[in-house]
Structure 1
Amino acid sequence: MFPETATPTTTFVVAVLIATAAQMLANRFRFPPILLWLLAGMALGPFGLHLMHVESMEGALHTLIELGLAIILFEGGLSMNLKELRANGWVVGRMVIFGPLLTIAIGATTAQMMTGIDWPLALLFGALVSVGGPTVILPIIRQMRLGRNISHVLTAEAMLIDVVGAILAIVFLQVALTPEMSGMLIAEDILLKIVVGFFIGLAGGRLLAMLLSSSWAKDVEIRTILTLSSAWGVFLLSDSISEQAGLLAVLMMGAVLQRMEVHDIQRLKHFKGSLSMLLISVLFVLLAANMNLAVMHEYLYPGLIIFVILACYARPLTVLFSTMGSHLSTNESLYLAGMAPRGVVAAAITSLFVLILQESGNPQSELLMALVYIVIITSILIYSLLARPLKTMLSIDGGDERSVLIIGGGQIGAELGRALGEDREVRFLDLNAEVISSLKRSGYTAICGNALDPLYWEIIHAEEIGAVIVMTGSSDHNLLIARLANENYHTPEIYIALQEDAAEKHASLIHQLQARRLFAKPYNFTYWNDQAYRKRLLYEARTVELASPLIGEKMADVRIPHGVQPITIVRDGKTLIPHDNLKFEAGDEIKLLMRPERTEEGQALILPPSKPKKVE
Structure 2
Amino acid sequence: MSVASEVAGLGPVNAIALVGALGVGSQWLAWRLRMPAIVLMLLAGLIVGPGLGIFDPARDIGPLMKPMVSIAVAIILFEGGLTLDFHSLREARIGVRRLVFIGAPLGWALSSAALHYAAGLGWAASTVFGGIMVVTGPTVIAPLLRQARLQQRPAKLLQWEAIVNDPVGALAAVLAFTVVLVNADTQTVGEAVREFTVGLGFAAVLGLVAGWGLSESFTRGFVPEYMKVPVLFTVLIAVFAASDAVLHESGLLAVTVMGIWLANAELPSYEELRRFKEHATVLLVSGVFILLAANMDRETLFAMDWSTLAFVAVVVLLARPITVMISLIGSDVPMNERILIAMTGPRGVVLVAVAGLFAERLVGLGYADAAEIPALAFALVAATVVLHGFTLAPLARWLGLTAYGPAGVLIVGGSRWSAELAKALEGAGLPVLIVDRNRARLRTAREAGLTTYYGDILSEDAHNALDLVPYQKVIAATDNDAYNTLVATDLAPEFGRENVWQITRANEDSRRHALPVTLGGRELGHGLTHLELGNLMLQGWRFGRTKLTDDYTFEQWQAERPDGIPLMELTDDTIRLLGKEHPPRGKSGMTLLAMLPPKDETTRRD
Instruction: Give the TM-score normalised by structure 2.
Output: 0.71
8 Å contact kept, 1:236–1:246: yes
SS in structure 1 at match of 2:102: helix
**In structure 2, how many angstroms separate the alpha carbons of the residues matched to 1:83 and 1:412?**
21
Contact 1:136 1:342 in 2 (8 A): yes
Question: AA paired with 2:114?
Answer: T
- Letter of the 1:51 partner, please give it: I
The question of 1:341 aligning with 2:346 is answered yes
- For the residues of structure 2 that align with 1:26 and 1:214, how far apart are their CA atoms? 43
Q: 1:114 to 1:613 in 2, by over 3 A?
A: closer
Distance 1:213 1:495 in 2: 33
The partner residue of 2:67 within 40, 63, 69 is 63
Kept in 2, the 8 Å contact 1:406–1:428? The answer is no
One-letter amino acid of the counterpart of residue 415, structure 1: N
Name the CA distance, whole Å, in 2 between partners of 1:614 and 1:383.
47
Instruction: State the one-letter code of the partner of 1:131.
Output: V
Compare 297-306 and 265-274 and name the one that shifted more: 297-306
Matched, 1:10 2:9: no
> 1:197-596 maps to which residues of 2 (within 5 A)?
197-220=203-226, 222-357=227-362, 363-397=368-402, 405-407=410-412, 413-415=436-438, 428=456, 443-445=461-463, 463=469, 465=471, 468-471=474-477, 524-525=529-530, 556=543
Paired with 1:13 and 1:207, the residues of 2 have a C-alpha distance of 36
Distance in 2 separating the partners of 1:211 and 1:408: 37
Determine which of 19, 26, 30 is the counterpart of 1:26: 30
Structure-2 residue corresponding to 1:53 = 56
1:150, 1:55 → 2: CA distance? 40
1: CA distance, partners of 2:390 / 2:131: 25
Alignment partner for residue 44 of structure 2, among 40, 45, 57? Answer: 40
> Is 1:98 aligned to residue 116 of structure 2?
no
Structure-2 separation of matches of 1:175 and 1:5: 43
Give the conservation status (yes or no) of the 8 Å contact 1:428–1:445: no
Taking the aligned partners of 2:107 and 2:344, their CA distance within structure 1 comes to 14
Alpha carbons of structure 1 residues 294 and 461: separation in structure 2 relative to 1, 3 Å: farther
Task: Output the CA distance in 1 between the equivalents of 2:158 and 2:37.
Answer: 19
| Distance apart, 1:189 and its partner CA | 5.3
Residue 127 of structure 1 contacts residue 165 of structure 1 at CA under 8 Å; is this kept in 2?
yes
Change (3 A) 1:524 1:286: closer
1:251, distance to aligned residue in structure 2 (A): 0.7
Q: Show CA shifts across 1:364-387 (max 9, x none).
A: 343111011111110111111111
- Cα distance per residue 1:90-115 (max 9 Å; x no partner): 21111123333233222222222234
Is 1:168 aligned to 2:191, yes or no? no
Deviation at 1:122, TM superposition (A): 1.0
CA apart distance, 1:37: 1.8
CA distance in 2, matches of 1:339, 1:554: 50
What SS does the corresponding residue of 2:76 show, helix, strand or coil? helix
Alpha-carbon distance in 1 for matches of 2:180, 2:337: 39
Residues 41 and 286 in structure 2, CA contact (< 8 A), matched pair in contact too:
yes
Q: CA 1:12–1:92 in structure 2 vs 1: closer, same or farther (change >3 Å)?
A: same
The change in CA–CA distance for 1:340 and 1:204 in structure 2 (over 3 A counts) is same
How many Å separate the matches in 1 of 2:39 and 2:265? 36
Tell me: CA distance 1:119–1:264, structure 2 relative to 1, closer, same or farther (3 Å). Answer: same
Query: For residues 515-564 of structure 1, what are the alpha-carbon distances to aligned partners after superposition, in whole Å with 9 as ceiling and x for unaligned?
Result: xxx9x9998525899xxxxxxxxxxxxxxxxxxxxxxx99648xxxxxxx
User: Aligned-pair distance for 1:490?
Assistant: 11
AA at the equivalent of 1:284: F
In the alignment, the residues of structure 1 paired with residue 263 and residue 492 of structure 2 have an alpha-carbon distance, to the nearest angstrom, of: 26
SS at 2:358 equivalent: helix
Amino acid at match of 1:117: L
- Equivalence for 1:153: 157
Q: Which amino acid aligns with 1:122?
A: S
Q: Corresponding residue for 1:454?
A: none
Change in Cα spacing, 1:263 to 1:15, as seen in structure 2 (3 Å) is: same
Aligned partners of 1:99 and 1:314 also within 8 Å: no
Which of 145, 161, 168 is the equivalent residue of 1:141?
145
Specify whether residues 333 and 114 from structure 1 end up closer, same or farther in structure 2 by C-alpha distance, changes over 3 A only: closer
SS in 2 for 1:217: coil
- Residue 85 (structure 2) aligned to one of 78, 81, 89: 81
Distance between the aligned counterparts of 1:264 and 1:499, measured in 2?
27
Residue 255 of structure 1: how far off its partner (Å): 1.1
Checking the alignment, whether the CA contact within 8 Å between 2:77 and 2:252 is kept in structure 1 is yes
Shift of 1:498: 7.8
Structure 2 residue matching 1:131: 3-state secondary structure: coil
**Tell me, what secondary structure is at the counterpart of 2:476?**
strand
Equivalent position amino acid for 1:158 in 2: A
Give the AA of the match of 2:52.
Answer: L
| 2:196/2:247 contact within 8 Å kept | no
Shift of the 4–523 alpha-carbon distance from structure 1 to 2, 3 Å rule, reads closer
Aligned to 1:584: none
Residue 190 of structure 1: how far off its partner (Å): 5.1
Unpaired runs of 5+ residues, structure 2, are: 416-433, 507-523, 535-539, 545-566, 569-597
**How far apart are the structure 2 equivalents of 1:350 and 1:139?**
23
Question: What's the offset of the Cα at 1:76?
Answer: 0.7
Letter of the 1:108 counterpart: S
Deviation at residue 238 of structure 1 after TM alignment: 1.9
Greater shift, 285-294 or 170-179, is seen at 170-179
| Equivalent position SS for 1:151 | helix
> What is the aligned length?
499
Closer/same/farther in 2, CA of residues 490 and 349 from structure 1, 3 Å limit: farther
- Mapped to 2, the partners of 1:269 and 1:63 lie a distance apart of 24
Partner residue, 2:428: none
State the one-letter code of the partner of 1:29: L
- Separation in 2, partners of 1:464, 1:376: 30
What corresponds to 1:585 in structure 2? none
User: What SS does the aligned partner of 2:51 have?
Assistant: coil
User: Contact 1:78–1:255 at 8 Å: present in 2 too?
Assistant: yes
Matched, 1:195 2:218: no
Partner of 2:576: none
Deviation at 1:215, TM superposition (A): 3.6
Q: Give the letter for the 1:123 counterpart.
A: T
- Equivalent AA in structure 1 for residue 100 of structure 2: V
Whole-angstrom distance in 1 between the partners of 2:25 and 2:287: 11
Query: Residues of 2 paired with 1:260 and 1:403: CA distance?
Result: 33
